[in-house]
């Protein structure tokens, strides 16, 4: 009678343990089933992936012929079904075999200028112990692709294919990955094996060099002088009467003794040499794509010279800031610049973003297209940072170079990239 109270809890614990074990077993079986299902789907995708559209048509035709021939007993239809099925089986046999090449993709230059050819080499070697049947190698280059026919390779044999990529447009082109294609002569089935990693080919915009030692802007060790006056700096401006709070260290004692009034030195405030450029990427501001390319080239030319002059350079579009800490990074970033959506604004919106991001910029350059109106240019100039030297470059392909003044900014119009340097010389005097 004394053991009965303890028996019930023991049975409950055993039942709970059994239920927990059953739940764990069910969970493990669900995981196994999910794993097998995933592997099965992956296998089905691989099998389905080798069939090309023509192959699906022929497979469907064979299925219909078999059904009709067997259902109605039509011998001719059944014979046609046998012939089509035999063709499918023979074409499938072409997929059998190794395609294990050792692939090496080598671009002699990963950075070229528009108009130059990028030359590279594709090397495929058979490092196995068995021969590899002929196959095709596909090399994607941006939106296009190159196709190479590779012959039969014996063990240890290698083949090298040279290629050249023409560059007619500024862009960042992914080259690769290399795909090895095995298929049948009728094009019913195709097995693709991708190798190697893609390599980015940067097609830089055209740029021009400027003669002389600098862009011509005022510059010293501490920065560029502005029109704002201050009581403490290094660029002396004039003498003025002492005001409460002025630093007595700047008192000019000779003038004080001569005039009888306490005189102190005033200075022009200097700023760090900060070169900020805005490239408008609004599509409606440009007459054609070539005009946009001209604006990109102008920004690239000015940015390269500013970096050589040891300016701190920032480049912005409506999409945000571009990397421009070195010449290579600047050109790489410009290679990938594209038009933005109209809702992101035009030149005026970009000028406002530049002023908000760099209010103390010493020099601001804004590049836009020929379809920007005078009113829009006026609005853009009015939003530029106060106290900075402002320059607007209008790309108007085919027009004669010109110069005008809008507010506090110099506006130059260039019809070709070669007009940029002479126009700047006229502005800088």
Whether 37 is in a domain gets the answer: no
pTM confidence score: 0.69
Q: Are residues 196 and 286 in the same domain?
A: no
218 lies in a domain?
no
Query: CA-CA distance, 365 to 278, in Å (whole number)?
Result: 6
Q: Which of 36-50, 83-97, 129-143 has the lowest mean pLDDT?
A: 36-50
Whether 161 and 89 map to the same domain: the answer is no
As beta bridge partners, residue 204 has 113
> Are 343 and 303 in the same domain?
yes
Are 280 and 368 contacting, i.e. CB atoms less than 8 angstroms apart?
A: yes
The domain total for the chain is 4
How distant, in Å, are the alpha carbons of 119, 124, 131, 164, 182 from that of 151? 22, 11, 11, 21, 12
Whether 38 is in a domain gets the answer no
CA distances from 313 to 205, 255, 326, 363, 383 (A): 18, 42, 9, 10, 20
Q: What are the φ and ψ backbone dihedral angles of 334, each rounded to 5 degrees?
A: -65, -30
* Band (405; pLDDT cuts 50, 70, 90): very high
Residue 335: inside a domain? yes
In a domain, 14, yes or no: no
Both 319 and 397 in one domain: the answer is: yes
CATH of the domain at 294: 3.40.50.410
One domain, residues 262 and 400: no
| pLDDT classification of 222: cutoffs 50, 70, 90 | very low
Query: What are all long-range contacts of 413-417, with beta carbons under 8 Å and residues at least 24 apart?
Result: 413/370, 414/294, 414/298, 416/294, 417/206, 417/207, 417/208, 417/294, 417/297, 417/298, 417/301
Among left, alpha and beta (phi > 0; psi -120 to 50; other), residue 187 is left
Could you report the per-residue pLDDT of 94-115, keeping only the tens digit for each?
877 656 778 888 888 899 999 9
Verify that 287 and 422 share a domain, yes or no. Answer: yes
- The CA distance from 248 to 252, in Å, is 9
> Are 303 and 407 part of one and the same domain?
yes
Domain CATH for 161:
2.60.40.10
Shared-domain flag, residues 387 and 420: yes
- 387 domain-assigned: yes
* 63 and 115 within one domain: no
pLDDT, residue 196, reads: 67
In a domain, 404, yes or no: yes
Checking if the pLDDT of 141 tops 90, the result is no
| Host domain of residue 376 | 274-428
Helix (H) or strand (E) holding 103: strand 102-107
In a domain, 31, yes or no: no
Statement to judge: residues 175 and 281 lie in one domain:
no
Could you tell me if 305 and 384 lie in one domain? yes
Q: In degrees rounded to 5, what are phi and psi of residue 150?
A: -100, 130
In the structure, what pLDDT confidence band is assigned to residue 224 with cuts at 50, 70 and 90? very low
Instruction: Tell me: do 251 and 368 sit in the same domain.
Output: no
pLDDT digits (tens, 9 = 90+) for 235-277: 555 788 888 877 777 788 888 888 888 888 876 655 457 899 9
| CA angle at 44 for the pair 41 and 45, rounded to the nearest 5° | 85
Q: What mean pLDDT, rounded, does the chain reach?
A: 83
Q: How far apart are CA 381 and CA 375, in angstroms?
A: 10
Dihedrals phi, psi of 232, to nearest 5 degrees: -150, 105
């Amino acid at each position: 009678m004394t053991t009965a109270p303890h028996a019930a809890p023991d049975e409950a614990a055993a039942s709970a343990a059994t239920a927990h074990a059953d739940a764990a077993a069910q969970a493990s079986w669900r995981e196994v089933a999910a794993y097998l299902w995933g592997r099965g789907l992956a296998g089905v995708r691989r099998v389905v992936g080798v069939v090309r559209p023509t192959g699906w048509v022929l497979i469907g035709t064979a299925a219909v012929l078999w059904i009709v021939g067997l259902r109605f007993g039509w011998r001719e239809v059944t014979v046609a079904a046998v012939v089509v099925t035999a063709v499918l089986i023979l074409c499938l046999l072409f997929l059998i075999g190794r395609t294990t090449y050792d692939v090496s993709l080598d671009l002699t230059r990963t950075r070229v200028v528009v108009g130059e050819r990028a030359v590279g080499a594709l090397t495929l070697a058979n490092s196995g112990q068995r021969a590899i049947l002929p196959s095709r190698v596909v090399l994607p280059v941006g939106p296009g692709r190159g196709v190479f026919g590779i012959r039969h390779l014996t063990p240890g044999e290698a083949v090298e294919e040279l290629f050249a990529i023409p560059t007619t447009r500024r862009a960042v082109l992914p080259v690769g990955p290399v795909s090895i294609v095995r298929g049948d002569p009728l094009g019913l089935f195709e097995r693709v094996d991708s190798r190697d990693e893609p390599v980015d080919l940067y097609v830089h915009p055209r740029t021009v060099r400027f003669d002389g030692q600098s862009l011509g802007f005022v510059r010293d060790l501490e920065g560029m002088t502005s029109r704002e006056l201050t009581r403490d700096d290094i660029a002396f401006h004039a003498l003025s009467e002492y005001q409460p709070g002025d630093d007595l260290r700047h008192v000019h004692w000779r003038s004080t003794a001569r005039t009888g009034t306490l005189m102190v030195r005033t200075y022009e405030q200097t700023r760090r040499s900060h070169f900020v450029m805005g490239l408008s990427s609004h599509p409606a501001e440009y007459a054609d794509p070539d005009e946009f390319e001209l604006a990109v080239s102008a920004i690239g030319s000015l940015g390269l010279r500013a970096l050589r002059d040891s300016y701190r350079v920032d480049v912005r579009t409506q999409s945000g800031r571009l990397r421009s800490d070195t010449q290579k990074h600047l050109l790489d970033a410009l290679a990938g610049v594209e038009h933005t959506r109209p809702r992101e604004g035009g030149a005026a919106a970009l000028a406002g973003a530049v002023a908000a991001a760099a209010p103390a910029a010493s020099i601001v350059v804004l590049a836009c297209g020929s379809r920007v109106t005078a009113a829009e240019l006026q609005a853009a100039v009015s939003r530029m940072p106060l106290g900075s030297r402002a320059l607007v470059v209008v790309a108007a392909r085919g027009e004669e170079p010109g110069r005008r003044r809008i507010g506090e900014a110099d506006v130059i119009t260039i019809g070709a990239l070669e007009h940029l340097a002479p126009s700047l010389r006229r502005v800088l005097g």
